[in-house]
């Protein structure tokens, strides 16, 4: 499948970012079921690089609000890693999925961004927080404790990516088919 063409609607990727933001504000999501990274992959595949800052800064602002107002915590240095992974996801979408999209590329990109985020963010938790001993066994315990959240997150990211890219491809084919029928008539 070639680059996604979503008709005249440039709003779909923005609406998806807004939907993720609303879901994060509305639902208590301790099980990590909100697919932020796959929506950013989709945004990167559909929109030009000059617009990436809008999506990423919007999600960073939301994170700051949720952390400081909803949870009442101070911002911690490990949150910068989450924000860096927002950039990784949107740029990976542009790099790997903006020109040619295949099921293999889409699933591979989703797995890459989700697994790397799991590894880096949990390593950061182990380093930054005093929850685990600073030993190999402590790092292992940190990763093991995070596995149920990772399973849920990975499933949400994969399902969302398949749906987003699949529905976009179906709608793209319908638009092309409609235009061909209209041109023939």
What is the rounded CA–CA span in Å between residue 165 and residue 60?
Answer: 24
Residue 174: per-residue pLDDT: 84
On the question of pLDDT at 111 being above 70, the answer is: yes
**What domain range is 179 assigned to?**
11-184
pLDDT score for 102: 86
Give dist(CA 120, CA 37) in Å, integer.
14
pLDDT for the residue 109: 97
Secondary element (H or E) of residue 149: helix 136-184
Residue 127 lies in a domain: yes
Task: Determine the pLDDT at residue 130.
Answer: 92
Domain membership flag for residue 139: yes
Nearest-angstrom CA–CA distance, 13 and 40: 8
> How many structural domains are present in the chain?
1
The reply to whether 58 falls in a domain is yes
CB contact set of 25 (below 8 Å; sequence gap of 6+):
62, 66, 70
What CATH number is associated with residue 118? 1.10.1760.20
Among 27-31, 81-85, 151-155, 157-161, name the one with the lowest average pLDDT.
Answer: 27-31
In a domain, 6, yes or no: no
% of the chain at pLDDT higher than 90: 68
The burial class, CB within 10 Å (0-12 / 13-18 / 19+), for 58 is middle
Residue 133: pLDDT above 50?
yes
Q: Is residue 105 part of a domain?
A: yes
Q: Is the pLDDT of residue 10 over 80?
A: no
Q: Is 117 among the domain residues?
A: yes
């Amino acid at each position: 499948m070639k680059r996604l063409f979503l008709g005249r609607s440039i709003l779909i990727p923005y609406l998806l970012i807004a939907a993720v933001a609303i879901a994060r504000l509305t639902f208590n999501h301790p099980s990590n079921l909100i697919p932020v990274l796959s929506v950013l992959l989709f945004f990167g595949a559909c929109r030009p690089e000059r617009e990436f800052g809008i999506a990423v800064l919007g999600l960073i602002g939301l994170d700051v609000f949720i952390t400081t107002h909803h949870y009442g915590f101070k911002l911690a240095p490990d949150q910068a890693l989450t924000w860096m992974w927002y950039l990784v996801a949107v740029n990976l979408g542009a790099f790997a999925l903006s020109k040619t999209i295949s099921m293999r590329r889409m699933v591979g990109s989703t797995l890459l961004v989700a697994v790397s985020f799991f590894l880096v963010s949990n390593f950061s938790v182990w380093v930054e927080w005093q929850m685990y001993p600073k030993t190999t066994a402590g790092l292992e315990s940190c990763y093991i404790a995070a596995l149920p959240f990772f399973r849920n997150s990975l499933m949400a990211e994969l399902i969302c990516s398949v749906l987003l890219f699949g529905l976009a491809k179906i709608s793209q084919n319908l638009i092309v088919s409609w235009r061909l029928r209209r041109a023939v008539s």
